[in-house]
């Protein structure tokens, strides 16, 4: 929004990353997951609103007389197709791996099964709607040249914007507010791990004994995250790495290992063999996905400099 309103303005991308980090540092003083419940509700509404706005904008852009040429063909290189396929699997694992969070949380208090199913049905319903609708409409409107952040396709560097200014501005605002909510929720896991030894559970959450370490640890954590985000402004590539290294093992490898250990199934049983095959296949998928993601990072490395003013998709 700033670059559109002030194309020659002095502020750079990293300035806005710092601003967001300062806001997150203030909001991160909310002490627990329970204190984020209202923010979670707002986050859900923002996700739904953004999905509807962007999907409508993509449909309008696809039908517009200024619509860009659509190319749906894949790369002619077989190796490029293969690497892109595994990169996409890693990104999908990162997206759908979010369901592991409510699943883990649901097992912390009995009865796990009922809570888990409700949380997972809700989680995957929202994910299915918010990811597939803009993906389908964005790919239809822009073909294989669509950006991983579809707003960049709707606001091309050359030529007019392909959606009304008010719609794009509202969508960008929704993204900003949604990212603040996501940052709070995901960081809460790291906060609880860091504060496991520093907090005193016998005293109040806002007592000086707990408030000072919390303020210090959370601010330092966010300062480090902001520094890395400003230094390395990648987007889709980083999601691929996170999916390959984090979510594929977390979703498809560790659960079957723990299942086999917990139930001690006979090694020759169909269930044990099936779990072992799943573990082996997804270990390979994760390894290839990690290689493909890192390869994409290396290929894109020439497009940016430290503290660049552009996000590499």
What is the chain's mean pLDDT, rounded?
79
Question: 265, exposed or middle or buried, with CB in 10 Å at 0-12, 13-18, 19+?
Answer: middle
Residue 89: both structure tokens together: 């699997």
Q: What's the pLDDT at 52?
A: 94
59: confidence class by pLDDT, cuts 50, 70, 90: very high
**Tens of pLDDT, residues 253-269:** 887 888 888 877 788 88
Backbone φ and ψ of 77, nearest 5°? -85, 125
Q: What's the pLDDT at 313?
A: 53
Q: What's the pLDDT at 49?
A: 93
CB atoms within 10 A of CB 230: 19
Q: What's the pLDDT at 262?
A: 80
User: What is the per-residue burial (b if ≥16 Cβ within 10 Å, else e) of 252-262?
Assistant: bbebbeeebee
Top mean pLDDT of 132-146, 191-205, 285-299 is at: 132-146
Share of the chain above pLDDT 70, in %: 84
Q: What's the pLDDT at 119?
A: 74
Top mean pLDDT of 127-131, 136-140, 152-156, 248-252 is at: 136-140
Residue 168: name the closest of 152, 157, 180, 183 by CA: 152
Residue 46: name the closest of 172, 150, 134, 161 by CA: 172
Q: What's the pLDDT at 230?
A: 79
Q: What's the pLDDT at 90?
A: 73
Q: What's the pLDDT at 312?
A: 54
Q: Which of 71-75, 178-182, 211-215, 242-246 has the lowest mean pLDDT?
A: 242-246
**Tens of pLDDT, residues 74-129:** 777 888 788 778 777 777 776 766 666 656 655 555 666 677 777 778 878 888 89
Which position has the higher pLDDT, 74 or 48? 48
Q: Which of 31-35, 164-168, 282-286 has the lowest mean pLDDT?
A: 31-35
3: confidence class by pLDDT, cuts 50, 70, 90: confident
DSSP state of 65: T
Residue 61: name the closest of 189, 193, 155 by CA: 155
Close Cβ partners of 74 (under 8 Å, ≥ 6 residues apart): 81, 84, 144
Q: What's the pLDDT at 53?
A: 94
């Amino acid at each position: 929004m700033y670059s559109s309103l002030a194309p020659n303005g002095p502020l750079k991308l990293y300035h806005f990353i710092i601003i967001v980090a300062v806001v997150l540092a203030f909001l991160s003083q909310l002490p627990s997951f329970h204190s984020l419940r209202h923010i979670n509700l707002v986050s859900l509404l923002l996700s739904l609103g953004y999905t509807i706005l962007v999907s409508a904008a993509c449909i309008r852009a696809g039908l517009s007389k200024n619509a860009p040429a659509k190319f749906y063909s894949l790369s002619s290189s077989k190796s490029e197709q293969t690497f892109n396929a595994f990169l996409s699997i890693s990104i999908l694992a990162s997206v759908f791996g979010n369901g592991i969070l409510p699943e883990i949380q649901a097992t912390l208090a009995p009865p796990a099964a009922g809570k888990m199913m409700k949380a997972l049905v809700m989680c995957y319903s929202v994910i299915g709607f918010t990811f597939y609708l803009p993906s389908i409409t964005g790919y239809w409107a822009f073909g294989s040249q669509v950006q991983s952040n579809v707003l960049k396709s709707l606001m091309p560097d050359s030529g007019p914007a392909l959606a009304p200014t008010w719609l794009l501005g509202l969508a960008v605002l929704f993204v900003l507010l949604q990212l603040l909510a996501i940052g709070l929720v995901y960081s809460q896991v790291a906060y609880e791990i860091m504060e496991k030894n520093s907090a005193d559970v016998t005293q109040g959450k806002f007592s000086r004994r707990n408030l000072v370490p919390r303020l210090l640890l959370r601010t330092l954590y966010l300062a480090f995250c902001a520094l890395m985000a400003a230094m390395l402004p990648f987007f889709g590539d980083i999601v691929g790495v996170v999916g390959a290294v984090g979510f594929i093992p977390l979703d498809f490898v560790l659960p079957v290992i723990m299942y086999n250990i917990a139930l001690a199934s006979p090694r020759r049983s169909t269930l044990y063999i099936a779990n072992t095959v799943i573990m082996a296949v997804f270990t390979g998928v994760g390894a290839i996905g990690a290689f493909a993601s890192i390869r994409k990072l290396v290929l894109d490395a020439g497009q940016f400099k430290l503290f660049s003013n552009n996000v590499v998709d």
